Structure 1
């Protein structure tokens, strides 16, 4: 990769890691909240969905702002807002305050993906590799968030842990002030650039311009791609939100395998093996991100999407039977789930780049993460309801419908792209 490519990937990668550190620390805290407060998964699911929903809903205005003003300072504001939200969470006396803190986090975090991905798509020449490394950094945060949270919960109250989690955002802001790069090095445009070198002329400057740009953006291909992203978001959020709680029902006490603690001791009670299996699943996702990114440079993205979606459907159907078969099969199916769940991300990110113009890339990724995290947030409420109503088996069978629809949409998009290419 070129020096400018490396600078952009380093900046966005660090920021991406911090965003997901917070995002995936929340399911670990959910385990605590289910015992700390008189709530069920059916209640806590919608509470968590508020923050995750805003994480997606704010992506659209975030994309507009990224096109207009450039991403660097937008990302800095995102980091500051996320750190502040976890400070608020550390003061939460009840579930409504938790909902408020998660809402603040969702709004702050929402601007990152359209800004960061727009920057990679216009500034990095090796786009597929850039998406891969960016995704791997995100997965490092995805794994670090729950691991760090679980380790801190061994020694501290959850409110103090939430406060300590504000520190990564502060450190990332300090690093961001040293970042320098050309945000339009990979595209040729005639317009001006923002302060950080990001193209701005394509950004809508009024509501009517926004609507005009949006109508032009929503071709048949882009609409199909966005529907694919929504299916991924629903499955991703529906699977991960309560996964630590699901895993805890199938895993034995840690003292049966590791003699670090005396059985029945306070440390043994605090050490929840499910949290660490969950973290391991997310670590495996780093390999999935890399494989998915490299795949985008070697096969048509629609082919990759269809294959990975099919794999996710199979894993969802087999997850509970594998868990019931013992610890070994549970660990194996969890590893496959982690790999596939994150292998798909570079594929849909590259797909959006193929079906959208460079000048509206921020807007296109705004819609992308509105679909992925906004629409996808409903997956948390769906899985919370299903777990209360039909148990683990029914929940994973129900969630399998989302990747199955994704396969059909990927096939439809492939046909559409072939038709457009023939017409051109």
Structure 2
């Protein structure tokens, strides 16, 4: 039986995961409307989110360290308030400089979630794969909700509403979490282990972490590059299907990420049932042909191909996070996840200039997708080298005193 504390932990952590991705995905859809308002081309406007994207990764390490020292709950309160207020500032921006600075704040406060929120769950539950799979679903829900929400609010009201409305919602969630914490309804909870040192041998831990640092960087780059280019790619290749305005584009992107979110439950189940390394490897191998096909396909069939491409990338997340938790020291798990996401999201920051460069150079994303397929092939080769040995430690379900 899952204790009430973990239920609350799941609710707030999963909501935070959804919001962290939602705030980062609003702009790639809204930017299509800004081309007219700011009289600037796509490749210039999409680059305005670069600073925020860099901070989304670069600030993850200090955020993870503070999560270990100051506590996950306190850091998550800061996350909800900080991202909410920053999003409202973006909605109030009147020029490109204000958008850059405000979005940088979204990236800065948004960086708190991944090292803190995911480690918060990883340290408090036995069936880690299932819990992280559910958590991943919420991340994809945020990705899925953002395009259709941004498109609808932009078409009905203005692009500003697409930032202000979710910003207010995030602040409300932060207030609720703060109240729950002050009243003792939710508290920090560290799962006990039979072996306090590690879940793997020291040699396997070093080898596993080094290899995973490379593969998670590849995951982040492919995930961010494809997510940022999707709205524009769909607008260009499915013009006859999406119609005018942003709702059509947003709907298709949303459907893709809703599908990928549901499949993360499958990814969590696979991570609990089968060897993590094999699950992770299969997900990498699947991405290679799908990225290449998406690069050259110019018919309505690109929709299911794009959906499978995104699913292949995200379904491996529970296995990846479980592997990283397995090879990281228990007492420094938030810091370890901070290192992971500094690298993954820091390298992923390259996605913004890559997407901008590809569109400015040829007006399309064909060869960028081919480059991403090559990166996926290299990551698959690194995954083959991961240690095969099983975990040393056995978990016990936490028993928290009321």
Q: 1:411 aligns with which of 377, 384, 387?
A: 384
**1:123 aligned onto 2:118:** no
Summarize the Cα distance change of 1:190–1:291 in structure 2 as closer, same or farther, 3 Å threshold.
closer
**1:239 aligned onto 2:222:** no
Summarize the Cα distance change of 1:115–1:163 in structure 2 as closer, same or farther, 3 Å threshold.
same
1:147-204 CA-to-partner distances (Å, cap 9, x unmatched) read 211111121121233222312202211331326345435224999xxxxxxxxxxxxx
Q: What RMSD over aligned residues (CA atoms) do the two structures have, in Å? A: 2.6
Summarize the Cα distance change of 1:363–1:217 in structure 2 as closer, same or farther, 3 Å threshold.
farther
How far apart, in 1, do the equivalents of 2:217 and 2:341 lie? 9
Instruction: Give how far 1:38 is off.
Output: 3.8
1:224-279 CA-to-partner distances (Å, cap 9, x unmatched) read 11111000011111111121011111113458xxxxxxxxxxxx633442221111
**1:400 aligned onto 2:401:** no
Summarize the Cα distance change of 1:398–1:45 in structure 2 as closer, same or farther, 3 Å threshold.
farther
Specify the alignment match of 2:180 in structure 1. Answer: 178
Specify the alignment match of 1:146 in structure 2. Answer: 147
Specify the alignment match of 2:2 in structure 1. Answer: 2
Instruction: Give how far 1:34 is off.
Output: 3.1
Summarize the Cα distance change of 1:418–1:129 in structure 2 as closer, same or farther, 3 Å threshold.
closer
- Contact 2:68/2:335 (CA < 8 Å) preserved in 1? yes
1:12-51 CA-to-partner distances (Å, cap 9, x unmatched) read 1122122222122121122223333243344334422221
State the TM-score, normalized to the length of structure 2: 0.88
Specify the alignment match of 2:398 in structure 1. Answer: none
Specify the alignment match of 2:400 in structure 1. Answer: none
- Contact 2:31/2:42 (CA < 8 Å) preserved in 1? no
Specify the alignment match of 2:199 in structure 1. Answer: none
How far apart, in 2, do the equivalents of 1:383 and 1:306 lie? 26
Specify the alignment match of 2:271 in structure 1. Answer: 296
How far apart, in 2, do the equivalents of 1:217 and 1:346 lie? 20
Specify the alignment match of 1:305 in structure 2. Answer: 280
- Contact 2:115/2:337 (CA < 8 Å) preserved in 1? yes
Instruction: Give how far 1:341 is off.
Output: 2.4
Specify the alignment match of 2:294 in structure 1. Answer: 319
Summarize the Cα distance change of 1:189–1:78 in structure 2 as closer, same or farther, 3 Å threshold.
farther
Specify the alignment match of 1:334 in structure 2. Answer: 306
How far apart, in 2, do the equivalents of 1:137 and 1:285 lie? 10
Specify the alignment match of 1:203 in structure 2. Answer: none
Instruction: Give how far 1:124 is off.
Output: 1.5
State the TM-score, normalized to the length of structure 1: 0.84
Specify the alignment match of 1:269 in structure 2. Answer: 244
Specify the alignment match of 2:62 in structure 1. Answer: 61
Q: 1:349 aligns with which of 304, 307, 321?
A: 321
Instruction: Give how far 1:217 is off.
Output: 12
1:88-123 CA-to-partner distances (Å, cap 9, x unmatched) read 111212222111111000000101111111111211
Instruction: Give how far 1:133 is off.
Output: 1.2
- Contact 2:150/2:250 (CA < 8 Å) preserved in 1? no
Query: Aligned to 1:116, what secondary structure does the other structure show?
Result: helix
Unaligned runs of 5+ in 2: 197-201, 393-402
**1:369 aligned onto 2:369:** no
How far apart, in 2, do the equivalents of 1:216 and 1:86 lie? 44
- Contact 2:32/2:42 (CA < 8 Å) preserved in 1? no
Specify the alignment match of 1:187 in structure 2. Answer: 192
Specify the alignment match of 2:332 in structure 1. Answer: 360
How far apart, in 2, do the equivalents of 1:48 and 1:240 lie? 13
Q: Where do residues 217-256 of structure 1 align in structure 2 (5 Å cutoff)?
A: 219-253=206-240
How far apart, in 2, do the equivalents of 1:39 and 1:297 lie? 48
How far apart, in 1, do the equivalents of 2:40 and 2:102 lie? 17
